[in-house]
Amino acid sequence: MKYTQLGRTGLKVSRLVLGTMNFGPQTEEADSHAIMDAALDAGINFFDTANVYGWGENKGRTERIIGSWFAKGGERRDKVVLATKMYGNMAPDGDAWPNHDKLSALNIRRSVDASLKRLGTDYIDLYQFHHIDRSTPFEEIWQAIDVLVQQGKILYAGSSNFPGYKIAQANEIAARRHGTIGLVSEQCLYNLQERRAEMEVIPAARDYGLGVIPWSPLHGGLLGGVIKKEVEGGRRAGGRTAAALTDPAVRTRIQAYEDLLDKHGIEPGEAALAWLLTRPGITGPIVGPRTAEQLRSALRAVELELSEELLAGLDEIFPGPGPSPEAFAW
């Protein structure tokens, strides 16, 4: 496994991030534990989750599965850089009281204590805001985070799904508040198919020293060899991936992508991850394996070297938007 610093911090994290969103809804607890053991054995030390994972009436289940894995001992907790997120309403469905969501100081305090209990730990390495809160000023947010850092409950704060101007605003206000470090990472949607983050989010993150953690690196499976699997009679695409492929332009693009990688003898999913690892400012993509084999495939991407010819071919199929303001102006 290869490692890098998380943004401008001294924290060393693996170039792959283990995403746990499937733990509970799609992967049972025993299999989830086996995947986490395999990830740790392979050197992945960066695990990402969120308080809402488990979804619906099972919100919080994913954190509890991770907590039961930590409880097995073997220095599991000490070896893991643990990241979780808060924002969504954690009240029981149909009983969504005010102040049970978003980024008020009250909900931040309530949410971190609940996550610590579910995770069975006394601190969280990276505590992330899952979404912007248009109603809560950053002065209040940072006051709450400062208290949690002083209490030793969290070490760093990060954002997720923030636009570039909010990253700038958050860190400018943090700098004015006793010189606190502010955001150290941004978790955003970024992959070959969806490159809009290159316009402002990634440049803002790089300017302010945030590590960028892409989620959905295979764009919901669209970049994972979906057409090839259909032809070979494997797992057929469903949901948004299947809907996307009904667009002739999208299907033509994905077919060209799979043909290019077949020519180079590289699996599509592994190439999509390896491409992200070549991008400036990227800490590591989040991989969310449902099975041990999917984890093994992701691990192969870390050692994969993409030629300049292949990188140019990928850019031709999936051209980025270019930097702003040139992407939308002159």
* Element of type H or E holding 15: none
What local confidence, expressed as pLDDT, does residue 98 receive? 87
Question: pLDDT tens digit string along 56-102?
Answer: 999 999 999 999 999 999 999 999 999 999 999 998 776 778 899 99
What local confidence, expressed as pLDDT, does residue 95 receive? 77
Domain boundaries, the chain: 3-221+268-317
Does the pTM exceed 0.85?
yes
Would strands 12-14 and 3-5 be described as parallel, antiparallel, or unpaired? antiparallel
Question: pLDDT tens digit string along 132-163?
Answer: 999 999 999 999 999 999 999 999 999 999 99
What are residue 286's DSSP bridge partners?
17
208 catalytic per annotation: no
CA distance linking residue 277 with residue 16, whole number of Å: 9
Place of tokens 């289940």: 61
Amino acid in the structure at residue 2: K
Among 3.20.20.70, 2.30.40.10, 3.30.43.10, 3.20.20.100, name the CATH number for the domain at 3-221+268-317. 3.20.20.100
Amino acid in the structure at residue 301: A
Query: How far is CA 70 from each of CA 80, 125, 141, 277, 330, rounded to the nearest angstrom?
Result: 9, 14, 29, 29, 53
What mean pLDDT comes out for the span 255-265? 98
pLDDT > 90: percent of the chain? 89
Which candidate in 3, 53, 123, 208 is catalytic? 53
Cβ–Cβ under 8 Å, residues 212 and 202: yes
